[in-house]
Amino acid sequence: MEDYARLKNKLEEQKKILSERLKTSDDYGLSRGFASSNSSGELSQYDNHPADSATDLYEREKDIALHEQVVLELSAIEHALSKFANGTYGICEVTGQKIPYERLEAKPTARTIIQHADNNHHFSRPVEEDVLEDFGKFNFDKAEDETQFDAEDAWQAVARFNELSMVFEDSSLDENSELIGYVEEIEGFLSTGIEGYKGEESVDFQRNSHYDHYLNDR
């Protein structure tokens, strides 16, 4: 048998608990303001170690999150109790259908049937996911109009200091095939002194891997 009175009593009891929690916690200290000196009780933060200030900030953020959670729960409970008053408790706010008692028993503040429950929540993906991709997204070796030191080059530059070679997958450093630091291919094997170009005699020719790369592409 559906016992809505028991659900109402459960909501009222939970409302009382949450209200007392806010009262006894002094709204989690938020009434003292948001300045770090207010929350820590210090007159000045000048002589505090940055780690101490960071700890105070973390605790402050935690208090704000806890306070917000309690306020949201109280709001949901008050909304459910108001529906008891107007006789609409247990009715889906989207479809007008009756919400199964089992769902209300598990979540007395439910506003919809389970099929529309996700409409009450808004999720967003972390912004870090925009850049958390493989090096392929930031590899400009094939782009003729790009000469920058890309992400793949950065990884290779760091990987050369790895004492254990070939530890990572695809960790072989195929640097000889890349003209890192050069705009034109010939800059890899042709160079001048500090005074710059002063004719053919001022050009030095290096028969190196970049020269081989240049010939193989021809």
Helical ranges in the chain per DSSP H = 4-24, 36-40, 50-86, 101-106, 151-159, 209-216
Is this model's pTM higher than 0.75 or not? no
Rounded Cα gap, residues 166 and 15, in angstroms = 60
Q: What is the distance, to the nearest Å, from the Cα of residue 163 to the centroid of all Cα atoms in its chain?
A: 32
Per residue of the chain (218 residues), what is the pLDDT tens digit?
Answer: 578 999 999 999 999 999 988 887 776 666 655 454 555 555 555 566 677 777 877 888 888 888 888 999 999 999 999 999 999 999 999 999 999 999 999 999 999 998 888 654 555 677 777 767 666 666 777 777 777 777 777 777 777 777 655 554 444 445 555 555 566 777 777 888 888 888 888 888 777 777 777 777 76
Rounded Cα gap, residues 39 and 31, in angstroms = 10
